[in-house]
Structure 1
Amino acid sequence: MKKKVNKNIHLFLQIFSILGLVSLFLIFEIQEVRAESVNDVILNAPDGTSLADAFNLMPVGSNSHATIAKNKNGNDVCVLTDDNRDQRAALWSATNYQLDLNKDFDTKMKLYLGNKGRYAADGITFTLQNDPRGNNAFSSSTEGGALGVYSSQEARNSTEAAQEALQNSFSIEFDTHQNEGKGNAYDENSHNYKPGPNHIAATMPGNPETYDVYSSWLTQKVKVRHNLLTEPINLPNGSLSNGQWHDFEVHYDHITEQITYVFDGQSRVCNLPRTVFSSDYVYWGFTGTTGDDSNVNAVVFSELPKAVNVETTTDVLKNNTSVINKDVNMGDTLTYSLKATYLGGIQNWTDVVGEEFLNPYVEYVPHTLAVKYPETGTITKEEPQITPENHLIAPELTNDLGDVHENKWTSVEITFDVKVKNIDSNQKIIKAEDYTEFIGDNYTVRPYETSYQILNDEALRPQIKLSDSLANASVSVFPTDQSLTIDGEWKDKDSNTVSLFYKLNGQERVLQDNVSNTAKDSWLPFSQEISLADLNTGDNQVEVYAKDAEGQLSNHESFKIILNQGNVSFKSIDPEIQFKNMVISGTTVYSSPQATVGVVVEDTTGIPKDWQLKVKQTTSFSDGTRDLPAQLTYLNGEEKLSINDSSAVVLPVVQNNATDYSLQQDANHQFQLAVSPGAYTGEYQSQLEWTIERVP
């Protein structure tokens, strides 16, 4: 008996130890799936469009924490559930913002399904519905696995299940938790198909065919047929609730009655007959739930379908006449007019930016962009952004467009000029295609095309280029300059003769007339002097161009002639004058320079000479120890001009050319040095000072 008691005690200790290990394991798991901060999710959510006036948030039950809040940039974020158990909510479009199934629609969103991985539950749906409860509709089931659209697990057959579910509805479910087992069988195998642990599936919650109901006295199971409309997007467990925002977009084609949805790059297409809804107009939005497990479920709308109704047009004008689908010429200045008019909607069109994808053959003319608001006559001017791809981005409109909440601006016109560039192409006609796009916070007008044709006269026009010394250069001249040579090359593809012209300060003149085109489509040299008689003091603009026999003009090459006023200055002076050696005697001896004294004055004033050349001796002749008794003179014919330090002496000059004058020197005009008796032998030096003086 004692031995039996000991055995029971031993078994008890074993069971207790096992339970203790299980307890520790469960505590460890709870630490790994901490509740997520919904505030962090909201704050760091991506930017999106405003939900104001477009949607109504419907918390379901007193436990719901659903909210529409602002991210760090002030954009709307809809939180359907936070990371708490038994949350339920729906976000439905406003009554005046139902989708019209007679028209296509597109919408883009960012979805956040928590960071709980395989411990997340339960998910959300994107749903279109015409339930009698309108934008108060929600499944009667309180179970998280119903996702707000399906029946409860208590339905006894598929008809009853459809009646409990959202009526006249279509849903795309994002299921973060695989529901299996008694009373929780939504994701069990049905008709030989079982969805993945995480899945995105299209269903019709109000249709009996959606359900596979198994009912007995022992168990009750309501299964959803996830592949009834199209193959689900099946994902590994925990893939949806990975702490990332997921891309989701929906496109509806009213002609084919097909809906296409894309989740993180994976797409599915399924038929969506309007008979599903018993109406052409449906409410749309999201539902979200949690159950015993939970995760944050949030939505940001990147693009809403027709929250605003606008009309946009683009025109291109030349001299106030439209050139759409017409011809323009190279060098033309064109005015682009981008107009947008608000026609209606549930919101104002906010934060609108007009953009033009310009063709590569034009360039924006700086300081021409203007934004005009016709209702108020307001005009603003601000430079656009021009990308390397010639994409013109106008500044964001200072006013929203619309009439909601007493807004007074309903239209805008953006205008700017471009210049058609010269095109190096053999095509005679070039099609220029532009694309206009208006991007707003809540609506985007997708790029649409405008076009015109550019007549490429350049293909047959003559071409001209100046020599490197002239092209875009500044050439300085003086009043004494009479002419300048213009040289370069020209070519023409087909004409027999070409005439060359130049414009001096806007006045056209002939450079060379009817020059024979001896080598067609090859560069031929030209060189021609032009008169400088009509220059203005300072800058003078010169344009050089060619005109062929058919009258087609070439490109214009330009340079600048700068006419200086001119001045009088020394061009050169010999640094020293060496006299011939002499023998000292008891009488005065004379010596002359060994070579002609080089003194040249340059006069570029272009007026009659009004100056004098003067010279003065500033120091006596000395060898460093004693002075030389000598007198320097200049023989000016029969006149002897004494040069000393008392005053400068005027010397005669002769004109060498249009600008240069030199000291007159010949047998009767030269320097002379007279050395008096009593001088000592040696090498003596003195200094002269040369000056130019104006004559009154």
Structure 2
Amino acid sequence: MKKRRIALILSSLLATNIFPIIGYSLESNQLVNDNRRVEESKEASTLDRLTESSQIQESSENSSTTDSKETTDKEESEELIKQPLENAATYRVGLPNDPNIISIDKIFQQPIGTSTSILENGKLLQLNPAERSQRGAIWSNNKIDLRSDFTFKCYLYLGNQRDKAGDGMTFTLTGDSRMANDPSQVIGSPGMGIGSYSTRSGQPYVANALSIEFDTYKNSGSSDRMDREITADNKGHGHVAFVTPKPNNNNYSGEHTGVTIAPTFLSDGTWRTLIIQWDASQRSLTYDLEGVGRSSHIVPDLISQFGSTEVNWGFTSSTGTFFQENAIAMTQLPSNVSSSVDVKVNDSDYGGIAEVERNDKITIRNTLKVTGNFLEDKKLETSIDLPQELNIPERILINGNQVDAKDILITGNRVTLNLGDYFVLGDTLIIELETDLQEVIPEKILTMHFEYLENAKLIEQSNDISLTIAKLKEIDVHVYYKENESQNDLAEMKTITGKIGENYKEVPIDIEGYVFDSDSANTEGVFSENTADIYFYYRKGKLYLSAAPQYVDFGQHKISNKPLSVFGQFSGGLKIMDERASGGWILQLKQEKVLTNGTFELPEALSFVTSEETTVIGSSAVTIFESDQKGESDLSAILDSTSQHGIRIDIPVENQRIGTFEGKLSWILADVPEN
């Protein structure tokens, strides 16, 4: 019982609301002209008969109209009470299953008429319920600028009346001057006018406008002839087209452009995705309705069409004898996004193209401006997919300030910036990325663009910019070999040739009689226009001991009744370096100080022993080795005590004393001139 009681209450309320609308339709001559043709079938309603009766009264052609009208009034009254009982809900259609549907309750002005409602927590715009004689319009609070692109996306529902549907709805852009002071008057005629057009001279229409109509009924009669030119719709499926509202749209031809005939009934109980796009550069409006088709319309002149470059956007609808529910669920609101990109190399001017070389500083700049509704509820991002030849940017700036690391997402070569903390509605963001080449492929062209996204959906793509990797230029670098002190050339100058951006490396050459000493500190690097000549500096070759023992140790021994003969252990090796171009050398040994324990001396106790001979070492230098070998000679083998080579001490029994004996020897390296 409780459910039935609620239904009765709702029925009563709905019936109360319906009567004034029907009353208006009975009093309006226009509705008689614009109502749909009554099909010759048994399904004609009491309202059809009532309308026919009204026509007879007005023309005074039938003296019995009073009885007919009273009868039809009674029949219609009974029907109007029954219809709400059958449709107790305000609307029949449910929302599409899409989490991207947005709430729109703050976007629009007060609806015009009584048929338009915002339902489902602001997510469903019902332009009219499935009832006769409805008319409504609703307009955006904010205007959009037609000098910039915009995209509108939604789901469109045109009821489930099939061949009994009427009349349809429109998406309309308007610069109607009444919007400023009297917006409630910005609505067109009912019926065939779909709330946007004038059905005959003197009837209302939306001025300075362009409509995309979703028309479910073909008006092709003698008095309602606006759709006669759409001859292809011979099955009554409905059509989509562009129409310019004007003082009288009820003409045989010239009212429609960009017509697409629906392959099935537009009013078939399904939600269809609708995308509407404005291309500012082409002044082109495009619709794309799922399952129906796509078409575009060029606006020759914005001022002539709209009276302004800024317009309100919205929807209109109407029903007549035939009706349908018209509803919208929006996923992307029209917003103006201006996104342009340019580039500069080093300190050059910004432009759309540039030539770049290795080590050049590349700055990519995105100029972004966004206006629209409820952007604060969305995640706003801009993104660029950098070519693999470019490094990930070292610096990213927005309006001259470094972007916080938390707002930068780098995935592969794609850089995405979260704009939430930097975005101010209507302000311009200057986004700069600083990068350079990481891979040089001469003459390759790198193209890229920015993408503006809302909630991860692409809204606007900027223009493309291109970077051309420069053809590698060749450069000559001279290599010099100089004597360190005199700066005289020691060898012929060498020229190396390379392409800018390529690597180079030079090493000193061998020059007889000279030794490399230093260089100009640019012997390796990358060829550039500023690469300097290379210098290697040499000194004159020398003859010297590169290694020599610092001492020789004969060990500790007890006094014995036998002579002592022991080879000494050297503290290091013996090496000779001859860097000269010519000449030989001799190595000599001389005793500078006799072995002594402080009280007793051991003269001539030391000998130098080789495989060939034994030579006593005394106060006069003795030659132990001679050679003309260049470079380094390692003589450590002649000091090898394990092979009975080197310095030997010989102490007879009578000279053996207690104590530590120390002496001093000198190595003498002498030049032997070339013969």
The two structures have a TM-score, normalised by structure 2, of 0.48
Rg (Cα) greater in structure: 2
Structure having the higher helix fraction is: 2
TM-score with structure 1 length normalisation?
0.47
